[in-house]
Every structure is written in structure tokens, then in C-alpha cells.
Amino acid sequence: MTQQHRPIATPARRPRHLMDPDNLQRPSASDMSLTKVQQWVLSVLAVTTILHLAAGLVVAAVFAPDSRPDAQIGLNILAGVTAVGAVAAGRGIHDRNPLSWWLLLGVVVTPIGLCLTLGS
């Protein structure tokens, strides 16, 4: 008995965008960059949202209806604390220590707000 030689059938190649259960791939470096992009997007959204709140407090101090200086100063201090919280939140999202020299950027909001409020 002689056997006929049959060509060995090769499995059909899957398109690259489909998962092959027989040939699983390890996560690549691009997956890690996706996490970094997500962190940056989240931190930018959080920081700008919180800074808008701080700017709103400064605007409220400038246009306070009763024009009491103590209320205006209090609103500006709250704006500075809120801005410090924004910087700390941005650093926290990136798994950095929130206590750093970068917090001074948030403190700058109070003197700017006081100049705008008491200077007018």
C-alpha cells in the first residue's frame, strides 16, 4: 500500500485586528501609554474644573453685592484653598505626592484675587 502525499493544510491566517485564541499576545507598551493618556485626560479635566470654581469665587468676590471687605477677603481665601486643592488633585491622579512646591501655584490665586477685588 502506498500512501499518497497530501499537502499539509495550513490554518487560515486571521486578520491582525482579531484575537487568535491559539496565539495570545502579551500587553504591549502601547497599552501602558493608554493608561498615561487616561491619567492626563482625567487630571486636565479635574484641574480645569476645580480652577473654574476658584475663578468663580474670585468673580463673586469682585461683584459681591454688599461690598463688605471681610466677605470679599473670605471668598478670595476660599478661591486660593480651592486652587491648592486643584493642584493637589492633579498630582494625586498621577500618583505623585500632593505635598510639593507645585502647591504654591494654587496659593497665587489669593493675592491675584485680592488685587482684583480690593484694587477696584
Q: Looking at residue 102, what DSSP letter applies?
A: T
Find out whether 105 and 83 touch, Cβ atoms under 8 Å.
yes
Alpha-carbon distances, residue 24 vs 9, 18, 68 (angstroms): 22, 11, 68
Please name the residues in contact with 100: beta carbons below 8 A apart, sequence gap of 6 or more: 91
How far apart CA 40 and CA 94 sit, in angstroms, is: 8
Average pLDDT across each block of 10 residues of the chain; the chain has 120 residues. List them in order: 68 69 68 83 96 96 82 94 96 92 92 88
Given this model, what pLDDT does residue 34 score? Answer: 80
Find out whether 62 and 116 touch, Cβ atoms under 8 Å.
yes
Q: Which residues of 1-25 are buried (b: 16+ CB within 10 A; e: fewer)?
A: eeeeeeeeeeeeeeeeeeeeeeeee
Given this model, what pLDDT does residue 78 score? Answer: 96
